[in-house]
Amino acid sequence: MTLVKLTDRHFPGSSIFDTFFNRELMDWNHSERKECTEPAVNILNNKDDYSIEIAAPGLKKEDFKIDLTENNLTISSEGEEKKEVKNKAYSRREFHYSKFSRSFTLPENEIKREEISANYTDGILSVVIPKNKDEKRNQKIDITVG
């Protein structure tokens, strides 16, 4: 029989005991080690417009950059979070950087480019793209989140 030392796959050399007791209480998903993921997206094809909803809680409307080049809509965000906790016995400082970019190909010549709007409320970014069958593609447009 061979004995195998069990280590945490994220921190080689640490024991299960260390990993368990160094976590926050009830932190079974390792929330202090945030993973980068793309936010969830809903796309709706309504009668008069297209609507894109992105779940991005914890951000501010200033964190988003939205632009439209030809028929490609790109929504991106880049953020930084700093957290510091001080106690008698220890000091812990954490930094978290997050970044995402999602691109969507819109139907050619079917949208009112100048009337695209965006709103960020309760952790949901909503982008409304009005439909128009007559409009032609133009150059790049920046969209402000309201």
Helix (H, G, I), strand (E, B) or coil at 1: coil
Q: Report the pLDDT value the prediction gives residue 31, as an integer from 0 to 100.
A: 46
Q: Which residues pair with 103 in a beta bridge?
A: 74
CA–CA gap between residue 110 and residue 132 (Å, rounded): 5
CA–CA gap between residue 12 and residue 38 (Å, rounded): 27
Q: Please indicate, yes or no, whether the overall pTM of this predicted structure exceeds 0.95.
A: no
Sign of CA dihedral 101, 106, 108, 111: negative
Q: Are 109 and 133 in contact (CB under 8 A)?
A: yes
In CATH, what number does 34-143 get? 2.60.40.790
Q: Report the pLDDT value the prediction gives residue 71, as an integer from 0 to 100.
A: 87
Q: Report the pLDDT value the prediction gives residue 14, as an integer from 0 to 100.
A: 52
Question: Exposure string (b/e) for 119-133, b if CB count within 10 Å is 16 or more?
Answer: ebeeeebbbbbbbee
Structure tokens at 96: 């978290």
130 membership: H or E segment, kind and range: strand 124-130
Instruction: Compute CA distances 17 → 9, 23, 31, 89, whole Å.
Output: 14, 10, 18, 20
User: Which part of the chain has CATH 2.60.40.790?
Assistant: 34-143
Q: Report the pLDDT value the prediction gives residue 43, as an integer from 0 to 100.
A: 94
Q: What is the pLDDT along the chain (146 residues), one digit of tens a residue?
A: 555 555 445 555 555 555 555 555 444 444 444 455 788 999 999 999 999 999 988 888 898 999 999 889 999 998 777 666 676 666 666 666 778 899 999 887 788 989 999 999 999 999 999 998 654 545 678 888 88
